[in-house]
Amino acid sequence: MVRLVGVIDDPERLEREFRAALLDDVLRARIEAETAPLRQLIVEAALRSALREPGAGA
């Protein structure tokens, strides 16, 4: 529950913006969780590539 205190000119607009921001946060968290394994593989591959000896091939 959220309670706003003070003068609010357009409470409906404020509610829409709050809901949109909340939805954005939820979607970002879901995307982060769903892409975590792929991001981990990319980081591991980059580290392996960086740690290879020069001239060892691609």
| Average per-residue pLDDT for the chain | 89
Joined together, the tokens standing for residue 17 give: 């913006």
Average pLDDT over residues 19-34: 97
Give the pLDDT confidence score for residue 11 in this predicted structure: 85
Joined together, the tokens standing for residue 48 give: 């392996």
Using a CB cutoff of 8 Å and minimum separation of 24, what contacts does 42-46 make? none
Average pLDDT over residues 21-36: 97
Distance between CA atoms of residues 36 and 14, nearest Å: 33
Give the pLDDT confidence score for residue 3 in this predicted structure: 78
Determine the length of the chain. 58
